[in-house]
Copies of this chain bind each other. A is one copy, B any other.
């Protein structure tokens, strides 16, 4: 029976639609378990650029830092925004991730049995898959810097004497690699006790360092099975033998690519939540940012077609990691599973269900089940 403050950044496109349903489910949790959730709703992405001149304001960033957790929808990807704004809506995400030092992005992929047929993969390949991608989120090419570093310009298009070129920098420090590896190994202890580290050590210096550090960290976890795999091979094995993986740990861009790919296992991107965590502790747990792995999906915005489950499961991760409410998190997951088993589906998964519902109806069903 606690009091918790949650900053809600619904963002662009379908962000607000799916976030509304996540809040509805959180309200149902509050009611059933006797908690009080105080929501601070703020602008982010295109709406923030239009109203506040930046993809996320300083005031909003400060508020985030003081909250117990951040519930995030989606930003960017809106058609035609490029010409209108100097700032990219996506920068809100980078400011949140980097500014609040959310270096660990957890993306679990555990397809529900009743959705096995929704995957383009054969059901027998997907069956038994229960993996967690631990993606490094504050380093690498996303924050590449020029030497000498140009503030606010992590990379650049340049005019040189030979013509125009563009440069991005992939930099990792030993400390950055070590802390994300430790997150992965710690997570594996509560799971199937296996860690797969993904790199491109036959080409990249950053991967050679990654591999050295990973070996060193692995030595501290003799109870955890450990392997290295090249990113190209991983992209293949993720589809060939997904159920062989437990925890996959990798750098920022590889994690971005591999988790989108892994979404095919779950049948729809609309099913996959994520948590971004740092070392900032709050009264109840770790400060974290929780968001669906899908984007703003402008093509289906406002049509009630969006699947709110990724957002709702992100809220479940929020309950678990930032508020320390494990039972509540499990209750949300169970309500989602029950609603799917009962045959309710949003449009992305319609072919596998008995009844197609819209975004709001799906949220209501799950909230009622709770």
Which A residues have a C-beta under 8 Å from some C-beta of B? 76-77, 88, 90, 120-122, 125, 141-142, 144, 147, 155-157, 162-175, 200, 202-206, 208-210, 231-233, 235-236, 238-240, 253-254, 256-261, 263-264, 269
Contacts beyond the supplied A235-B258, A239-B261: 8 A-B pairs with Cβ under 8 Å: A121-B121, A141-B204, A142-B203, A165-B209, A168-B205, A169-B169, A235-B260, A239-B264
Assembly CA distance A77 to B201 (angstroms): 11
* Residues of the B chain whose Cβ atoms lie less than 8 Å from the Cβ of A156: 205
Which residue among A90, A165, A254 has the maximum number of chain B CB atoms within 10 Å of its CB? Answer: A165
Q: How far is the CB of A212 from chain B (nearest CB, A)?
A: 8
Q: How far is the CB of A253 from chain B (nearest CB, A)?
A: 7
* Residues of the B chain whose Cβ atoms lie less than 8 Å from the Cβ of A261: 232, 235-236, 238-239, 261
Q: List 21 A-B contacts (CB under 8 A).
A: A76-B202, A77-B202, A120-B122, A120-B125, A121-B122, A142-B203, A155-B204, A155-B205, A163-B173, A164-B209, A166-B206, A166-B208, A166-B209, A167-B169, A167-B171, A168-B204, A170-B170, A232-B259, A236-B260, A236-B263, A238-B261
Across the interface, do A175 and B163 meet the contact criterion of CB distance under 8 Å?
Answer: yes
Across the interface, do A239 and B236 meet the contact criterion of CB distance under 8 Å?
Answer: no
Across the interface, do B209 and A236 meet the contact criterion of CB distance under 8 Å?
Answer: no
* Residues of the B chain whose Cβ atoms lie less than 8 Å from the Cβ of A174: 163-165
Assembly CA distance A156 to B208 (angstroms): 9
Assembly CA distance A205 to B157 (angstroms): 6
Q: How far is the CB of A19 from chain B (nearest CB, A)?
A: 21
